[in-house]
Amino acid sequence: MKFIVSSAELLKRLSNINGVITTNPVVPILENFLFEIKDGLLTITASDLQTSMITEIDVEAKENGSIAVPARILMDTLKNLPEQPVTFTIDNETYSVEINSDNGRYKLAGENATDFPKVPEVTDAYQVDMSTEVLSSAINNTIFATSNDELRPAMTGVYVKLAETNTTFVATDGHRLVRYRRVDVASDTGMSIIIPRKALNLLKSTLPSENSNVVVEYNASNAYFHFNAIKMICRLIDERFPDYENVIPSDNPIEMKINKSELLGSLKRISIYANKTTHQIRLKITGSELTVSAEDLDFSNEAKETLACEHEGEDIEIGFNAKFLVEMLSNLHSKEVTLQMSAPNRAGLLIPGDKDESEDILMLVMPVMLNNY
C-alpha cells in the first residue's frame, strides 16, 4: 500500500486528535494512529477506549488498505520536516512503514490494523445542533469546577440536562458549583448525560475559532460530536449526578455588588499571605466597605485591603478558599459581580452583573470556617 500526502496538512490533522492518546494505554496498540485508506480518502483514528477521535484528509492513493502507525515517532518526524509531499509505503506482510521525503527516508514499525479496537457507533441517538461558540462557552464556564476524585465519578464530568426551553450545564467538586444555562439550545428529549472531563478538554482544544455548527448525538452510553473534518465519540459517565438544585440557597438577603477586576486583583494579592494549605481569606462587609484579609500564622504573614462596594442587608464576616474565588471570578466575563450570602456558614453565590439574554450563569462557593485572629 502506498500514498502521497502533504506533510503540513497531515501534521495539522494529527495534532487535532493526538491529545486522546495516553502514554501507557491499557492496550499497547492504542499508542498508534489507525490509518485507513478508501478511494483516496485517509481516515485517521486515535483512541484510549473511553474516547475516540477521527479525522479525514485527501491523499493520492491507488489502492485501499489500513495500518496502525506509532503516534509519537510519526508526530516528531512530521514536526521536524519542512512543508513538502511525503510518500508512505506500507508492507502489508511485515507492517513496516517507510516515509520518503525530498531528501530522506524514515522507516518505522507499524502494527496490524485489525488489532485496533473498533470505535463504538452511536445508535438510537438523539440529536441536537449547537454552535462552536455556545459549546466552547459552556465548556470554559464549567470544566474548571469538575472534581478529580475518582471515588465520585459523577462529579468528574459535566452534567448536561436538555430541556424543551433550555440546556443546562452543571459542574461541581463538592466545594463549589457552576450552573450554566443556554436558552438558545433546546431539545424535547428531556435527557440528561454526564460528559467526562477529558473529552471536554479535547473538544476545548480542537473546536475552531470561527463560529460553525457542531452536531451532537447522544444515547444512554455514548456521545458523538461532529464539526468540520473532526468526529469525536466518548463514553458517558453512567452515574447519578448530585441533586444540585437543592444545594443552591434561594433566600440570600445579604448582597454585595463590586467591580470584578478590583476584587480579583485584591484576592490575588491577599492570597499570597494566606495559609498555603487552606488558602483561607476573610471577607468583612460593613456598610459600603469590603475588607479582604488573610493570615498565615505559621510564618507570621498577614495582609489586608479595603475596597468600596455596594451593600444591601446586614454586615457579615465570612471565610472562603481564595483559590476557588480567584478561579471562579477569572471565568466570569462581566465588569461587575454580585456576591449573595445569607450567613457565615452558608454558601455564597457569584452572579455576573452584565447578563446576556441567551445565557444564565450562577456560581456557588462553600464557605470555610474562620480562624479567629
CB atoms within 10 A of CB 222: 20
Given a cut of 70, whether residue 90 has pLDDT beyond it is yes
Residues 131 and 217 in one domain: yes
Residue 370 has pLDDT above 80, yes or no: no
User: Is the pLDDT confidence value at 338 over 60?
Assistant: yes
Nearest one of 45, 38, 41, 36 to 14, comparing CA atoms: 45
Is residue 180, in this structure, part of any structural domain at all?
yes
Q: pLDDT-based confidence at 13, cuts 50/70/90? A: very high
- Location of C-alpha cell 506500507: 90
Residue 351 has pLDDT above 90, yes or no: yes
Identify the domain boundary among 115, 140, 159.
115
- Cα–Cα distance between 135 and 205 in angstroms, integer? 12
Q: Which of 193, 188, 200, 190 lies closest to 222, judged by CA?
A: 193
For residue 95, is it within any domain?
Answer: yes
Residue 289 in this model has a pLDDT that exceeds 60: yes
Query: Which of 74, 72, 64, 58 lies closest to 9, judged by CA?
Result: 58
Note whether residue 373 is domain-resident.
no
Q: Residue 372 above 70 pLDDT?
A: no
Average pLDDT over residues 6-24: 95
Contact partners, residue 353, CB within 8 Å, separation at least 6: 257, 260, 334, 335, 336, 337, 338
The reply to whether the predicted model has a pTM over 0.85 is: yes
Q: Does 370 reside within a domain?
A: no
Which segment of 98-107, 120-129, 241-250 scores lowest on mean pLDDT?
120-129
> Rounded to 5 degrees, what are φ and ψ at 192?
-130, 140
- Tell me which of 86-95, 315-324, 348-357 is least confident: 348-357
166-194: per-residue pLDDT in tens?
A: 999 999 999 999 999 999 998 888 899 99
At residue 373, the pLDDT reads 45
Domain that includes residue 274, residue range: 249-365
Residue 303 sits in the same domain as residue 356? yes
Q: Are residues 240 and 253 in the same domain?
A: no
Whether residues 266 and 235 fall in one domain: no
Q: What is the CATH number of the domain that holds 24?
A: 3.10.150.10
| Predicted pLDDT at 54 | 98
Number of domains in the chain: 3
Residues 58 and 104 both lie in one domain = yes
**Residue 54 falls within a domain, yes or no?**
yes
Angle at 218 (CA atoms; ends 222, 52), nearest 5 degrees: 40
Give the pLDDT band (50/70/90) at residue 371.
low
Phi, psi of 333 (to 5 degrees): -100, 75
Whether residues 258 and 196 fall in one domain:
no
Contacts of residue 253, defined as CB under 8 A and 6 or more positions apart, other chains included, come to 312, 313, 314, 342
Q: Is 306 found in the same domain as 284?
A: yes
279 and 291 inside one domain: yes
Residue 326 is given by DSSP the state H
Whether residue 306 is contained in a domain is answered as: yes
The answer to whether 235 touches 241, Cβ cutoff 8 Å, is: no
- CA max distance for the chain: 80
Are 288 and 339 part of one and the same domain? Answer: yes
Q: Is residue 15 part of a domain?
A: yes
| 259 in the same domain as 178 | no
232 and 141 in a common domain: yes
Residue 134 belongs to a domain: yes
Give me the chain's average pLDDT, please.
Answer: 94
Contacts of 28 (CB under 8 A, 6+ apart): none
Q: Which comes out higher in pLDDT, residue 356 or 277?
A: 277
Regarding whether 237 and 254 lie in a shared domain, the answer is no
- 341, 348 Cβ separation under 8 angstroms: yes
Where in 102-245 does DSSP place strands (E)?
105-109, 126-131, 157-162, 167-172, 176-182, 192-196, 213-218, 222-227, 230-235
Neighbours of 229 (CB within 10 A): 11
- From 61, 86, 115, the end of a domain falls on 115
End position of a domain, from candidates 210, 245, 280: 245
